[in-house]
Amino acid sequence: MSARVYNAVEVKQDLYDRIPGDGEFMGMMGDTVKGVGTMMLWQYDASSTAAHDEAAGVIKPDLQTGNGRWIRLFNFPVSNGKRQITVSGTTNASGNLVGTFSPAFSATPNIQANIINGSNTQTVKITTISATGFTVNVTNRNEVLGLLPTYTNVTGANLDIIVTEK
């Protein structure tokens, strides 16, 4: 069994400037500035002849002649240290999507909710929010000529929600 070497570089240019050993892993902390952009995990493959293509995740080091390429394995979104979760679901008969946080947030988080494939008469509003959970309500505006509008709950509305720690 061969040993694997794990290292870190600050930015993508550091991958161009280095000729590593076969199988070496490299954690990259930003595209052009450390901590800005996407963190990535790369592995060096000494036998690779893949065409150089940063967007596809292949980097040929500048000093490399012949075989050998950095191959991107994973992207890790940079969250600036804030906890963030996504929720998808459908509203119940009361027009509500109710969620709980486990574990709870230390303070009331920020919630952004979107109706997927909704109509232009549907509205979404966050009716309750706390460090432990939330309720989002979807209604449909019904208009009758000459009368004030009425609102009915929307059952089965598809929602995507992003919750971010403040």
pLDDT tens digit sequence for 20-34: 888 888 888 877 777
37 phi, psi to nearest 5 deg:
100, -140
> Do 88 and 101 form a contact (C-beta atoms < 8 A)?
no
Same domain (yes/no): 73, 94: no
Residue 116's domain spans which residues?
A: 84-164
**26, 54, 77: which is the final residue of a domain?**
77
> Do 79 and 165 form a contact (C-beta atoms < 8 A)?
no
Q: Which residue has the tokens 């993508």?
A: 12
Q: Is residue 48 part of a domain?
A: yes
Same domain (yes/no): 71, 138: no
**77, 100, 127: which is the final residue of a domain?**
77
Same domain (yes/no): 89, 140: yes
Same domain (yes/no): 58, 100: no
pLDDT, one tens digit per residue, over 92-144 is 999 999 999 888 888 999 999 999 999 999 999 999 999 999 999 999 999 88
Number of domains within the chain: 2
Same domain (yes/no): 73, 88: no
Residue type, 131: A
> Do 149 and 122 form a contact (C-beta atoms < 8 A)?
no
> Do 111 and 83 form a contact (C-beta atoms < 8 A)?
no
Same domain (yes/no): 71, 93: no
Q: Cα Rg for the chain, rounded, in angstroms?
A: 24
Cβ-in-10-Å burial (0-12, 13-18, 19+) of 128 comes to: exposed
Select from 158, 162, 142, 138 the least CA-distant residue to 150. 142
Mean pLDDT of the chain: 87
Residue 2 has pLDDT above 60, yes or no: no
| Beta-strand relationship, 158-164 and 110-116 | antiparallel
> Do 151 and 141 form a contact (C-beta atoms < 8 A)?
yes
Q: Is residue 67 part of a domain?
A: yes
Same domain (yes/no): 104, 65: no
Q: Is residue 47 part of a domain?
A: yes
Same domain (yes/no): 39, 70: yes
Q: What is the spatial distance between Cα 160 and Cα 71, in angstroms, rounded to a whole number?
A: 33
Q: Is residue 1 part of a domain?
A: no
Question: In this predicted structure, what is the pLDDT of residue 15?
Answer: 85
The three-point CA angle 19-24-26 to 5° equals: 85
Domain of 131, CATH number, reads 2.60.40.2080
**pLDDT confidence bin for 4, thresholds 50/70/90:** low
The pTM assigned to this predicted structure is 0.54
How many CA within 13 A on the CB side of residue 79?
A: 11
Same domain (yes/no): 105, 125: yes
Same domain (yes/no): 62, 110: no
Same domain (yes/no): 160, 88: yes
Same domain (yes/no): 51, 97: no
